[in-house]
Amino acid sequence: MTISIRRVPRAAVRVVIALVCVGAALTAAPATSARAGEGTATTPAVRGGDALIASGARCALAFNARRGTDTFGVMASLCAPAAPAVWSHATTGVRVGTSTGWPATREVALVHYDNPGVTYPGEVDLGDGTVRDMTGAGYPSAGQQVCQAGQQTGLRCGRVQAVNVTVNLGGGLILYNAVATTICSAAGDGNAPLFASGTALGFRVGSGGSCATFHLPIAPSLAALGLTVY
């Protein structure tokens, strides 16, 4: 994958949304002691960083968010199938709902949770049996310490190198307003949540090397849909 970067003004931000109806060198902030990927002994949970599967696709959720009494999971539509599909938790196999489908050119998708037998805490699964509670969303800034919870490499931290950059993923796919970080990650970390302490910042979209990772910010999408991270 060839990645080129050039700075663009914030006015060039392009927020495209699809709704889905669904049935290390730096020290990280302390995580809670709760087991990641679990709710209670009888109730499964879905958190940011967890993977859902549908129609052969395996997609990591970035964060959970809420609008009124409805709860959603935010994911990258680059990963998910465009056609309607039934989604299940990749680890527990529990069905969590269905998606309405969306064009593959769109960047952000929402998962609308409607399975009352599953809980949806406002946390990120760190991949080591612990979780991080998210209390809000924000915009990353240059020099900021940030962390990523990837499906393959787990919790990795680094610093923001630049914001408001354009990433050319090849094949005619260009992402705007991306964030460049020094986080070391791998291909299996696709769509991993990016955060600073309890603040949701974005999700992974690619890399330009083992320790050069690119993310899309999540705050514009949340604001456009009236969603809040909890």
User: Residue 220: which CATH number?
Assistant: 2.40.10.10
* Containing structural domain, residue 30: 18-125
Q: What pTM was estimated for this model as a whole? A: 0.81
Asked if 74 and 62 count as a contact pair (C-beta separation under 8 A), the reply is: yes
User: Is 105 in the same domain as 156?
Assistant: no
User: Is 103 in the same domain as 189?
Assistant: no
Residue 199: count of CB within 10 angstroms of its CB:
18
User: Is 114 in the same domain as 81?
Assistant: yes
**How many folded domains does the chain comprise?**
2
DSSP letter at 221 equals H
Query: In terms of DSSP bridges, do strands 136-137 and 199-209 run parallel, antiparallel, or are they unpaired?
Result: parallel
User: Is 166 in the same domain as 118?
Assistant: no
Does residue 2 fall inside a structural domain?
no
pLDDT at 155 over 80: yes
Per-residue pLDDT at 174: 86
pLDDT at 173 over 50: yes
Per-residue pLDDT at 77: 76
Residue whose structure tokens are 């680890």: 91
